[in-house]
Amino acid sequence: MKYRKDYQVLIRTVPMKSVDPKTKALLEDFGKYFEKFHEHEVIDLELFTPRFRQWHPALTEEQFASYKGMLKQISQEADECTRQGLLRDLYELGLGTKIANIVAEYDAGSLLIPLPDLLTAELDTYKMNVGLQAVPWDEKTIEELLAEDMNDEGVKWRLNCLNEAMRPLRPGDFGIIAGRPDKGKTSFLSSEVTFMADQLPEDRNVLWFNNEGMSGRIKKRIYQSALGKSISALSEMVKNGENIAQEYANAVGRTDKIRVVNIHGFHVGQVEAILEQSNPGIVVFDMIDNIRGFGSEARTDLQLEEMYKWARERCVKYSCIGLAASQISSEGDGLMYPSLSMLKDSKTGKQGACDFQLMIGASNDENIKHCRYIGLPKNKLRREDTPGDPHCEVVFKPHIARYEDLPYGS
């Protein structure tokens, strides 16, 4: 740690409460030295030693002699094998200290985040530090990245007004879909993911996390959207002996392509475990706001910000597309195009964690009750030479759970 580049990386991993007081004093003063001598990449021990004495005037000559003995050892260079062994010991010491502290908080009943989540996070950090877990990095060339744009690669929307305003969705993209209660938010998600499902690779799935209503209601909505049929028409198909499952599979890819999972009362660790084993291509979070385990922030808006950051990070980690259902606040009631800040319980927190924010506006006028208004007040996926926010009127067909573009000339 006498080298600046190593010190900057390792100092945060040293459990200061567990190391020898002399080691602690030297490490703290290494930091002072690097702050004072910005151009030095390695500590000059002839320069450091008298300054260390100056910074600790209460040391006796005997104590100072002991420190000088340690500094003499520091002057030697460690071979690579010794270096790796010391680093591993340091990381193990840090891991043991952190786990002990977590368990102590757990025993005291003061743990705000579920115990398995904290332990998993610490183990993942340890594995990455000692090389047991590879550091992920993007291996795509600039040519490959540009080809995605030129070839318009990715998952497209059912609504063409969105395809015209945004590039196709790709792994790692995360968006918020917001609407007022009972204005067709679930139907919108169902309408879109049933169109998107068949565009995913064969081995990827749509994972729909449900923690609001009954999963059966959502599953029926998904069948309606996929086949473009009402509940009575679907019932008639069953009555006539038609193979409804096969028609559904033809529409979305296979019968289990879209998987609805009830997560009522689940905490964040349980949700992550499902993500790990499901290989999702698209994840619908309906709704993130109800997932437990983000209680470390006193204010609701800060808790929500952490929730949505977590969801976005999961989309990157598991290389999937994320669509999060949210609600528009009462400020947006009856508005065709609610603004960016009109998300329930959040003026900026949720918004900052997403790539795009899609607002489903609706008028309270009964004469146009099936009209919906699609806005993208935030759109980091906008196409070049387009305004980015389409402000388009579409048709909501609740009887078949679909959203459709307005016909030309209407």
Average pLDDT, stretch 27-31?
93
Amino acid 132 reads L
Average pLDDT, stretch 99-106?
89
For the record, the structure tokens of 355 come out as 């790539």
- φ/ψ (deg, to 5) at 378: -125, 130
Amino acid 166 reads M
Average pLDDT, stretch 8-18?
79
Q: Between β-strands 174-179 and 321-327, what pairing exists: parallel, antiparallel or unpaired?
A: parallel
Residue 42 CA to residue 176 CA, distance in Å, equals 48
Q: Between β-strands 321-327 and 280-286, what pairing exists: parallel, antiparallel or unpaired?
A: parallel
CA dist list (Å): 389 to 163, 164, 165, 304, 350? 11, 10, 7, 25, 19
For residues 33 and 51, is the Cβ–Cβ distance under 8 A?
A: yes
For residues 312 and 322, is the Cβ–Cβ distance under 8 A?
A: yes
Q: Between β-strands 371-379 and 356-361, what pairing exists: parallel, antiparallel or unpaired?
A: antiparallel
3-state class percentages of the chain: helix first, strand second, coil last, to nearest 5: 50, 15, 35
For residues 376 and 391, is the Cβ–Cβ distance under 8 A?
A: no
Q: Of 86, 78, 91, which is closest to residue 132 (Cα–Cα)?
A: 91
At residue 280, does pLDDT exceed 90? yes
If residue 43 lies in a helix (H) or strand (E), which one and from where to where? none
Of all residues in the chain, the percent with pLDDT exceeding 90 is 59
Average pLDDT, stretch 299-324?
86
CATH T-level assignment (fold) for domain 148-405: Rossmann fold (3.40.50)
At residue 136, does pLDDT exceed 70? no
At residue 299, does pLDDT exceed 90? no
Domain ranges of the chain: 4-129, 148-405
For the record, the structure tokens of 242 come out as 């038609």
Q: What is the chain's length?
A: 410
Chain segment 224-277, per-residue pLDDT in tens: 999 999 999 999 999 999 999 999 999 999 999 999 999 988 878 788 888 988
Of all residues in the chain, the percent with pLDDT exceeding 70 is 95
Chain segment 340-363, per-residue pLDDT in tens: 999 988 777 788 889 999 999 999
Average pLDDT, stretch 273-302?
79
Give 11: exposed, middle or buried? Use CB within 10 Å, 0-12, 13-18, 19+: middle
For residues 285 and 311, is the Cβ–Cβ distance under 8 A?
A: yes
- Rg of the chain, C-alpha, whole Å: 28
Residue 281 CA to residue 319 CA, distance in Å, equals 7
Residue 308 CA to residue 257 CA, distance in Å, equals 25
Average pLDDT, stretch 373-401?
94
Report which DSSP code applies to 303: H
- φ/ψ (deg, to 5) at 382: -60, 145
pLDDT given at position 172: 94
Residue whose entry in the numeric block shows the structure tokens 């679907």: 234
Report which DSSP code applies to 167: P
pLDDT given at position 150: 87
Give 45: exposed, middle or buried? Use CB within 10 Å, 0-12, 13-18, 19+: middle
What are the helix (H) ranges across 132-281? 142-150, 160-165, 185-196, 215-227, 231-239, 244-252, 268-278
pLDDT given at position 165: 95
Residue 8 CA to residue 45 CA, distance in Å, equals 18
Residue whose entry in the numeric block shows the structure tokens 């790709």: 170
Amino acid 275 reads L
Amino acid 70 reads M
pTM for this prediction: 0.69
At residue 409, does pLDDT exceed 60? no
